Amino acid sequence: MSVAFGSVSLVGAGPGDPELWTVRGLRRVQEADLVLYDALIDAEALRRLTNARCFCVGKRAGRASVRQETIHRLMIRAAREGKRVVRLKGGDPFVFGRGAEEALELARAGIACEVVPGVTTAVAAPELAGIPVTHRGLSSGFLVIAGHAGETFDAALEAVRPNSITLVVMMGLAVRDVIAKRLETHGWAGDSRAALVCGAATPDEWAWTGRLRDVGTATPPDGVPGVLVVGEVVQIRETLVAMKGMAFNREEREEGEEREVKKTHSL
């Protein structure tokens, strides 16, 4: 008797905190037989949420990692065995997550595939640091680009007027000084406002603000991924910090929630 094929869900896990997962994403993880997760996923939290077998297949710069072709084979083999598979990715599966590549491979293999969007880190990381990627009067659009994209990076910059939009650079922390110089070469002002946001929605949250020409002097924590934001919108964070108008890390947010609970009980 033939075994009915299982299915694969490509699930976006957002920027870091499992509380930012979508309802559907959480349901798929809880129902799964096998979860193949990225390196940036909170593995301890994941194992508390599911009884599935969980394996890390993520990639980190400069470290040994599972080949993409191997990930394809693992998903296809498990689905052909009738298993419900979740490919759990940081951020959104289709934003620098190779989710489309995996969807195409699954389609070629005749495997049912579902995409569950996640909150992309390109927007969530700046947002959690108090930086909107758009703001009336400051920026009406934003460009998300990979810092290691080489010629594609330059081509994207040539397509926009310097300092006309917000620029979010992912996977570029290690070469942030080089990126800053390339931006200046393309006409971006050295005194443009800039920010580095690392470990968004995790206990390792860290942020720096300054000027584009100075990003190379910033010292983000080792091994913590992050984004570079360039644009006038960075001043929103600076204003919020000055006004103490926002909790910028998990500890501050939790303290704020506790204060609200105590205030409610005292009424």
Residues marked active site are found at 38, 59, 171
Helices (H), 12-150: 23-31, 43-49, 68-80, 99-108, 121-128
DSSP letter assigned to residue 4: P
Strands 166-170 and 193-198: unpaired
Separation of alpha carbons 92 and 249, rounded Å: 21
Q: Tokens 């947002």 label which residue?
A: 127
Q: Supply 229's token pair.
A: 């934001």
Separation of alpha carbons 183 and 247, rounded Å: 31
Among 188, 197, 22, 39, residue whose Cα is nearest residue 119: 22
CA distances from 109 to 7, 21, 78, 105 (A): 12, 28, 12, 6
